[in-house]
């Protein structure tokens, strides 16, 4: 992002924080950023493009602060990521609504980066042998549940929001994707396939073709 665009995006973000999305008018933005209206249209096209840039910047800043620790309890890390996601959505209602608008499509680089963080956390759980669905299915379920939980809470008046709803949603999803303890191969073929799938890319004794074929077999066994 150029310096000029970043300056305007910062001004819009401040307007939204202080006065809400309705305050974002061309005149207000031009005054807050100290630019002429034509500059805004030239850089962002229209108000929709400007709001998209603001949402993307906010999400990118949030995602850049997320890391996947290589040590520690994978289940605790997954729950921490969920809690952070819920907190971000509730604290950034306008941004979250913009990012989850189906009309925008799925072309957000920051959203894609966020999903990669989630995939990495799910992969750590899979490696323990506790995941009883494919990694892809687990990511899709967690992402859908998290988005739905935030949107449901945002639709409520702030004083009526029950954050226990988000916790209950997480527990419900967890019951459908993980087992209580690592399973043995004989007792849990799906979990075993999912766990083994996490190490396939790191098997040096196999060729690329063999790794791809083994990954395909294991995905099929896991129901991916």
Total-model pTM: 0.71
Bigger pLDDT: 192 vs 150: 150
Q: What are phi and psi of 178, to 5 degrees?
A: -130, 160
Q: What is the pLDDT of residues 106-151, one digit of tens each?
A: 677 888 888 899 999 998 998 888 888 888 899 999 999 999 999 9
* Mean pLDDT (whole number) for 147-175: 93
Which pLDDT belongs to residue 99? Answer: 81
Please give the Cα distance from 160 to 139 (Å, whole number): 29
Which pLDDT belongs to residue 139? Answer: 94
Angle (CA) 107-111-115 rounded to 5° is: 120
| Conformation bin of residue 129: beta by default, left when phi > 0, alpha when psi is -120 to 50 | left
């Amino acid at each position: 992002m150029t310096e000029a665009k970043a300056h305007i995006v910062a001004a819009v973000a401040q307007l939204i924080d202080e006065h809400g999305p309705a305050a974002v008018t061309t005149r207000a933005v031009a005054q807050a950023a100290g630019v002429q209206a034509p500059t805004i249209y030239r850089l962002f096209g229209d108000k929709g493009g400007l709001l998209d840039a603001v949402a993307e910047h906010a999400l990118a800043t949030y995602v850049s602060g997320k890391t996947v620790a290589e040590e520690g309890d994978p289940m605790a890390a997954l729950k921490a990521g969920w809690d952070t996601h819920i907190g971000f959505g509730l604290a950034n209602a306008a941004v979250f609504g913009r990012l989850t608008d189906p009309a925008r499509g799925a072309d957000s680089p920051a959203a894609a980066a966020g999903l990669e963080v989630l995939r990495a956390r799910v992969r750590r759980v899979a490696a323990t042998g506790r995941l009883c669905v494919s990694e892809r299915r687990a990511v899709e379920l967690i992402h859908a549940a998290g988005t739905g939980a935030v949107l449901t809470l945002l639709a409520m008046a702030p004083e009526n929001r029950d954050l226990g709803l988000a916790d209950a949603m997480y527990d419900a999803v967890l019951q459908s994707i993980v087992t209580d303890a690592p399973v043995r191969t004989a007792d849990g073929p799906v979990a075993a396939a999912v766990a083994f799938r996490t190490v396939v890319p790191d098997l040096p004794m196999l060729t690329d073709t063999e790794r791809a074929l083994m990954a395909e077999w294991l995905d099929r066994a896991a129901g991916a």
